Amino acid sequence: MNKTQKSAWLNTAGVLLVFAFALYITIQIGVRHRPPERILLCIWVSALVLVAGIGIYFFRRKQSPAEPESDERDNLIKHRAVLAAFVSVWPLFLTASAIPKFIVGASGSIPVFLLPIVTVCIFYFALLVYSVAVLIQYGRIAKGEES
C-alpha cells in the first residue's frame, strides 16, 4: 500500500467518523432535544485521535526503502479522483439548495448558521468521494494485475 492509498483510507475513516458524530449530534439535539452525552463525546474524540495517530504512523512508514513517493500512475489516479470529487460537488450543491424548498416551502426561510454547516458537509462528502475513487481505482488495477 503506497502513500496515496494510505491517505485515502485515513480520509475515509476520518470523514465517516465526522459524519457519524454529526448524525449523533443532529439526533440528540434536533430530535431528542438533549445535550450530547459526555461519555460518547469522549469516545468520539478518542476514536478520532486513534485514527489520526495510526494514520500518521502508517503514513510515515514505508513498505520498503525503494518505495517512491508517487509515480505517474499515482498522479493519474489522483487526477481522476479529483475530477470525480469535483463532479460530485455540483449535484450536491443542487440538492442542498433544493431540499430546504421542499421542507419549508418556496416562501420559507432558513437560519443563516445552516449555510456553513451545509458547505462543510459538502466539502467532507467531496473528500469522501475523492478517497473512495482513489481506493476503487487501486482496487481495479490490483484485480487487473491478478488476472
* Footprint of another protein (CB under 8 A): 79, 82, 86, 89, 93-94, 96-98, 100-101, 104-113, 115-116, 119, 123
Nearest to another protein of 9, 131 (CB atom):
131
Query: CB 93 → another protein: shortest distance, Å?
Result: 6
DSSP SS3 for 97? helix
CA torsion sign for 127, 128, 131, 133 is negative
Residue 9 vs 78, nearer CB to another protein: 78
Q: Considering the complex, what minimum distance in angstroms separates the CB of residue 106 from another protein?
A: 4
- Nearer to another protein by Cβ, of 62 and 101: the residue is 101
Q: Which of residues 55 and 100 has its CB atom nearest to another protein in the complex? A: 100
Smallest separation, CB 58 to another protein (Å): 28
CA neighbor of 11 nearest in space, from 145, 126, 111, 93:
126
Among 53, 62, 129, 55, residue whose Cα is nearest residue 90: 129
Shortest spacing between CB 82 and another protein, in angstroms: 8
**How wide is the angle at C-alpha 137 spanned by C-alphas 132 and 143, nearest 5°?**
125
Q: Which is nearer to another protein, 108 or 139 (CB)?
A: 108
CB of 72 to another protein, least distance (A): 14
Residue 57 neighbours by CB under 8 Å, 6+ apart: none
Residues 6+ apart with CB under 8 A from 48: 14, 17
